[in-house]
Amino acid sequence: MNKFASPAGVPAIEFSGVEKRFAARGASGEVLAARDVNFAIKPGEVVSIIGPSGCGKSTLLNMGSGLAKPSAGIVKVAGQLVEGPNEHVSFMLQKDLLMPWRTIAQNIEFGLELRGVKAAERHDVSARLLEKCHLRGFGKHYPNQLSGGMRQRAALARTLAVDPLVLLMDEPFSALDAQTKMILQQDLARTVADEGKTVLFITHDLAEAVALSDRILVMSERPGTIIEQITVNIPNRDNPMQRSKHELAGPLVGQLMDLLKLDANTEVH
């Protein structure tokens, strides 16, 4: 596969004046989901989006991938206008969506298969990612033979297999238990650092946002817009467990709670 990268000085992904409207269900008129969204992410940067439920976070990811079109404004990937599904962007969701009739290796290779990549190259890619994602020995297993955490590792490997410029991740660890979640956060951080990937990450977990991100974008209630951008000045982005123990982590979570108007009795998830 040809390596694709942003030209020098060009953001990996950029939203300019983006607005999204949907037809109202069961009534006339429209719902304004997001308005005047403006931000840019540099190549290799990890940026999280937090905000109230229904504020348009997932809608932004859909527009970034080309699965939805803005009602106004533009989205660019590596300086190119996004006008439809974009091969330089990969999506990872809360559900792994692995195909149960395919082995784990075959699931990882699926995107490459669709692109016409030869079998030998596909097998090399899946073998490398099985190793990197701690799934060595499980390539011939089927999804129902793996735990939830291992399935999400396989989903991450599948996301990386097509060598995307940008990873769009919509709460990929929210359904996992706390211990498995920490392990996968660590795996993701190290893999992203090794691969030099750009990530736009949605989460409701404020501590997760602090542990994984270079920057955090805070959205308002619907219609969602960016109300604050927070730089995470904590070292060792490739080690979220260590980052979460840093003296600045707690105050940053507190700052995010204030911006979202959460009180101490609110369950943050």
Angstrom distance (rounded) from CA 237 to CA 243 = 7
Angstrom distance (rounded) from CA 26 to CA 137 = 51
User: What is this structure's pTM?
Assistant: 0.89
Angstrom distance (rounded) from CA 53 to CA 59 = 12
pLDDT, residue 29, reads 75
Helix locations, the chain, DSSP H:
57-65, 104-108, 110-114, 119-132, 148-161, 178-195, 206-212, 240-244, 249-259
Angstrom distance (rounded) from CA 103 to CA 108 = 9
ω before 223 within 30° of 0 (cis)?
A: yes
DSSP character at residue 85: -
In the three-class reduction of DSSP (H, G, I as helix; E, B as strand; rest coil), residue 98 is classed as coil
Q: CATH 3.40.50.300 in the chain, residues? A: 13-88+164-259
Highest mean pLDDT among 2-11, 50-59, 69-78 belongs to 69-78
CATH dotted code for 13-88+164-259: 3.40.50.300
pLDDT, residue 95, reads 87
- C-alpha distances out from residue 94 to 153, 170, 176, Å: 12, 6, 9
pLDDT digits (tens, 9 = 90+) for 157-207: 999 999 999 999 999 988 888 888 998 899 899 988 988 899 999 999 999
Q: Which of 20-34, 138-152, 178-192, 231-245 has the lowest mean pLDDT?
A: 20-34
Angstrom distance (rounded) from CA 55 to CA 170 = 14
pLDDT digits (tens, 9 = 90+) for 77-128: 999 999 988 889 998 988 889 999 999 999 999 999 999 999 999 999 999 9
In the three-class reduction of DSSP (H, G, I as helix; E, B as strand; rest coil), residue 19 is classed as strand
pLDDT, residue 3, reads 60
H/E segment holding residue 48: strand 46-50
φ/ψ region of 99 (left if φ > 0, alpha if ψ in -120 to 50, else beta) reads: beta
Question: Do 253 and 210 form a contact (C-beta atoms < 8 A)?
Answer: yes
pLDDT band at 27 (very low <50, low <70, confident <90, very high): low
Average pLDDT value for residue range 133-141: 94
